[in-house]
Structure 1
Amino acid sequence: MKQPIFLEPLFQERIWGGSKLSKTYGYQIPSNQTGECWAISAHSNGPSVVRSGELKGRSLAKLWEEYPDLFGHFESDRFPLLTKILDANDDLSVQVHPNDEYANEYEYGELGKTECWYIIDCNEDAEMIFGHHAQSKEEFIHMVKQSHWDDLLQRVKIKPGDFFYVPSGTIHALCKGTLVLETQQSSDTTYRVYDYNRRDNEGNLRELHLEKAIEVINVPHKATEIHPALAQTSGGSITTFVEEDYFTVYKWHVQTTMEFIQDAHFMLGSVIEGQGSLYTEEGEFALQKGDHFILPNELSSFKIKGNVQIIASHPNYKGGQHHDMGSTAKQMANV
């Protein structure tokens, strides 16, 4: 197949959710407490289905099992990534995610959860919780027991266009007034550390997972530095945000026309702004704000026209060689 596979997003209501997914992208959301758009997902808690074409109605999980050629026979027992858009209308719980080894042992074979965030939009004074100030687990436990949250938690200011890499073991939380595109491992395991004594719709305090959280947190906190690389072309630009064990993430900003060479097994794309068209040898495919798609393995080259911004990603092998997507950026820069 040499054309994009467009997917229908699935929505998750959350206590901290809002209505921006409807207002910003025109999605039909279930309520005004909709926190998550699971845009590209083969996870059992929210699988995507194909929107159109000969594969219409099939789940991404089934495509992974039945059509391995689409994904270049990527060596994984499951679709490795999950793309979301999060509407933090209120503060999320302070949380942490396990790594692969811990999740496999204690979460019934689930993957760990390393993730990253692209800030689509946020309030002028928005911030996020990213890390902590404890120098040992004993100090961390003491500060938690004493509810010294302001002293423990590290807050950072954010603005639209910022990018954060959040490895497993990192204490973090999105805060009120933030719209984020998240690229992550295909996992739904979260350990809550603190939830502002918030109650659910039935009046119950939400469950915390302190014992597991303390086992998996990184102490002391050390932010992983990222160095985004910008490649300008006559038709736009490509920013490579991060290239790590599990994924590589880019922003494609097409302003007129850009040609692309794909040398990854397959790619994921989410249109966060604008509109345009994607051209392959099989035809023209419209791109609208809020669209999500997969570029299958056989689609080795394509062209995008329009004024459109896309967050794109592809999986990497943990511990293996990363794809040299820098060479792709250089090829595109020569267009």
Structure 2
Amino acid sequence: MNQPLFLQPIFQERIWGGTALKERFGYDIPSNHTGECWAISGHPNGQSVVKIGPHSGKTIGELWKNNHGLFGNYPSDVFPLLTKVLDANANLSVQVHPDDDYAKVNENGELGKTECWYIIDCKEDAELVYGHTARTKEELIQQVESGNWNELLRRVKIKPGDFFYVPSGTIHALCEGTLVLETQQSSDTTYRVYDYDRTDQSGKKRELHLKKALEVTAVPHNNVKTETKVNEKSGATITTFVEAEYFSVYKWNISGKSAFKQDKPFMLFSIINGEGLLKVGVETYQTGKGDHFILPADIGEFTLEGTMEIIVSHP
């Protein structure tokens, strides 16, 4: 029987990052500007490594290539999903991502990037940028060229526990004081539209990608509303946030002991709060806040016991 793959996250420093990943999850971060924890990743720019068990020391990419059966022989050349925890200590650039077709042609075969956010925490009155007000491509170009950001960008107030689905082609940005778990296609392609005229340590402004950004932005903005469903079962409350083309994402609130069945090609788990036990077959694993693991194919029945908030996803 396959065993859970517990993973060592990778950290990425960003101009907008901070120290929340250390303060909240106890991670050993590289600096006080750590913006991203790549928690479950098979992307070449940052691969998660298995921490324990028979596959210890191997990356997700290696296992995808050489042990594809672990993932139910899921039909994709690459591990399709990427789970991140983002510390937006300052505003992220206003940006947009391409879809699969555009990225394949223009980004060397990279996947497109549809993503979604679960707001773990945020400061009071926090907001994010989600969409724009332009009705035509011409209006969008004119507003961008004249720097009319206050009129162009749609801003949304947020609170902990909110969920946002962000399809490719959506202009968006996390804003200062936000801690987010992001589930996305495995892509590292971002087109910056606006960066608040910030400069780096050497006084240079970060590159913008306006031509590509304007080509891929959906006009008019498509305000996708997802329907949240809540199901109660013994020892658990299951909240379904989205079941979409690239991924399904849920929150599992465990309070007590609850039995589940792993009947997907593979499932991704990120524990954002609490601690407890994962039981698979005859093995029991202690797990808690800040842990990330994959349950591969053929796991079958498993139980979770304790008090935990877990973000769960699968392709």
TM-score normalized by the length of structure 1:
0.93
Is the 2:38–2:84 contact (alpha carbons within 8 Å) kept by the matching residues of 1? yes
| Aligned residue in 1 for 2:280 | 280
Show the 5 A alignment for 1:1-335. 1-315=1-315
- What percent identity do the matched residue pairs reach? 60
Does the CA-based 8 Å contact 1:226-1:242 persist in structure 2? yes
| TM-score, normalising length: structure 2 | 0.99
| Aligned partner letter, 1:134 | A
In the alignment, structure 1 segments of 5+ residues that lack a partner are 316-335
- Relative to its length, the structure with more strand (as a share) is 2
2-side partners of 1:17 and 1:268: how far apart? 25
C-alpha contact (below 8 Å) 2:10/2:39 kept by paired residues: yes
**Structure 1 Cα separation of the partners of residues 237 and 265 of structure 2:** 22
Q: Provide the secondary structure at the position in 2 that maps to 1:42.
A: strand
Q: CA deviation at 1:249?
A: 0.4
SS at match of 1:41: strand
What's the RMSD between the two structures over aligned residues? 0.7
For the Cα contact (< 8 Å) 1:89–1:176, is it kept in 2? yes
Asked whether the equivalents of residues 2 and 280 of structure 1 are also in contact (C-alpha less than 8 Å), the reply is: no
Letter in 2 for 1:56: S
Q: Residues 2 and 282 of structure 1 are in contact (CA less than 8 Å); yes or no, is this contact kept in structure 2? A: no
1:211 and 1:33 map into 2 onto residues whose CA distance is 29
Number of aligned residue pairs: give it: 315
Alpha-carbon displacement from aligned partner over 1:7-40 (angstroms, at most 9, x marks no partner): 0000000000000000000000000000000000
Deviation at 1:300, TM superposition (A): 1.5
Offset from partner CA, 1:123-142 (integer Å, 9 cap, x none): 01100000000001100111
Which consecutive residues of structure 2, in runs of 5 or more, have no partner in the other structure? none
Q: CA deviation at 1:234?
A: 2.9
SS in 1 for 2:47: coil
Task: Measure how far apart 1:2 and its partner are.
Answer: 3.2
Q: Is the 8 A contact 1:116 1:164 kept in 2?
A: yes
- Cα distance in 2 for partners of 1:300, 1:310 equals 19
